[in-house]
Amino acid sequence: MIMKFLQKVPAGLMLVPLLIGAVIHTLFPQALEIGGLTTAAFSNAGAATCMGLQLFCLGTTLQLKDMPAVLKRGGTLLLSKFLIGAILGIVVGKVFGQAGFWGLTALSIVAGVTNSNGSLYLSLVKTYGDEADAATVALLALNDGPFFTLLALGASGMASIPMMSLVAVIVPMVLGMIIGNVDKSMMEFFAPMADILIPFVGLTLGAGINLKDVVKGGPQGILLGLITVFVGGFFTLLFDRLICKQPGYAAFAVASTAGNSVAVPAAVVLIDKTWAPYQAVATTQLAASVHSYTGTDCDKYLGKEIWMSAIIFKIKGYKKVQESGKVRVCTF
């Protein structure tokens, strides 16, 4: 019953535990601070550990043998996502400061636009794309964590990010990649655990959020979702068509934000405390902007949807139209 409910909520495995943690922290702020294993596992103190373990498990899925074949196409998508997210976030940060405009923080913009939902991407390109498009999901997994956000903020001078802190962020994923490539059995063992850890990441992050801040993040989060799809999607489309000479279905498929982006503000604050006042609101904005693949029945979820297939049908060069291939994307 619980799992069925979580599956009905977009990114429910992340967002529902996050909300539970936020409720507990708001109403009973000391409930999870009793010490011992309870505090270590379920309070905000456990967030960094959970995120590190999740990045390690995700790293085991990155297979080096797949990289050469997908480097051009996947690298183009990855680079374009990073560039547009970094440019938008840096411009907003330089002009309006850390608080951003209309309450939409620069941290939220960088973390949201540079991120992508691998499950959504894979679901769309399996229908509309080709084998090369599907294979790029391994390379796109590199934007799952906070590395690109830290890189953009550090390079722009908007955050003080020591080089060793950047190294420390990617070490768990690199270790996972090494183990996953050395032994396929280890990859098969650890890979599913990335999903298992999602509720724990959500709960521990929620345990550091006051619900009073959530009210501030809702409308701005929806705006962030629209920026990711349409502004980020258009920019990525240009790169995909000009560099890869592709019709662009992969570009729009990658124009999304995954639930794991919710963990990025906490990772940034671990390194640069000047972003601490904006952590809670950035987290809730990212949670509100998450794009989730929910199959062909997503219209029953909150009634807000974007027909990604309608966009893809209009892209010149599309050849794989299937009557049963309509995919809906719910945006929140």
- Domains of the chain are 11-331 (1.20.1530)
Which tokens sit at 147? Answer: 């590395």
The reported pLDDT for the residue numbered 97 is: 87
111, 206, 309 from 196: Cα distances, Å: 23, 17, 30
**Sheet of strand 305-306, all strands in order from the earlier edge strand to the far edge:** 291-293, 329-331, 305-306
The fraction of the chain above a pLDDT of 90, given in percent, is: 6
167-203 pLDDT, tens digit each: 887 788 889 989 999 999 999 999 888 778 888 888 8
Quick: pLDDT tens for 286-316.
Answer: 877 765 443 433 333 333 333 343 344 344 3
Mean per-residue pLDDT for 17-39?
Answer: 87
**Gap between the Cα atoms of 155 and 243, Å rounded:** 25
What pLDDT score was predicted for residue 320?
Answer: 42
Confidence of residue 217 (pLDDT cuts 50, 70, 90): low
Of the candidates 286, 332, 279, 246, the residue with the CA atom closest to the CA atom of residue 85: 286
241 pLDDT more than 50? yes
Q: Considering only 20-24, 132-136, 166-170, 293-297, which range has the smallest mean pLDDT? A: 293-297
Closest-CA residue to 190 (of 31, 59, 32): 59
User: How many angstroms separate the CA atoms of 279 and 12, rounded?
Assistant: 21
Question: What is the predicted pLDDT for the residue at 189?
Answer: 93
Find the range with the poorest average confidence among 128-132, 182-186, 267-271, 295-299: 295-299
Q: Which two tokens stand for residue 67?
A: 């990289």
Query: Residue 319: which pLDDT band, with cuts at 50, 70 and 90?
Result: very low
Range from 35-44, 114-123, 243-252 carrying the lowest mean pLDDT = 114-123
User: If pLDDT is split at 50, 70 and 90, which confidence band does 324 have?
Assistant: very low
- pLDDT: is 70 or 272 the higher one? 272
Instruction: Produce one character per residue of 88-113: b if its CB has 16 or more CB atoms within 10 Å, e if not.
Output: bbbebbeeeebbbeeebbbbbbbbbb
Instruction: Return d(Cα 288, Cα 297) in angstroms, integer.
Output: 20
CB 284 within 8 A of CB 225: no
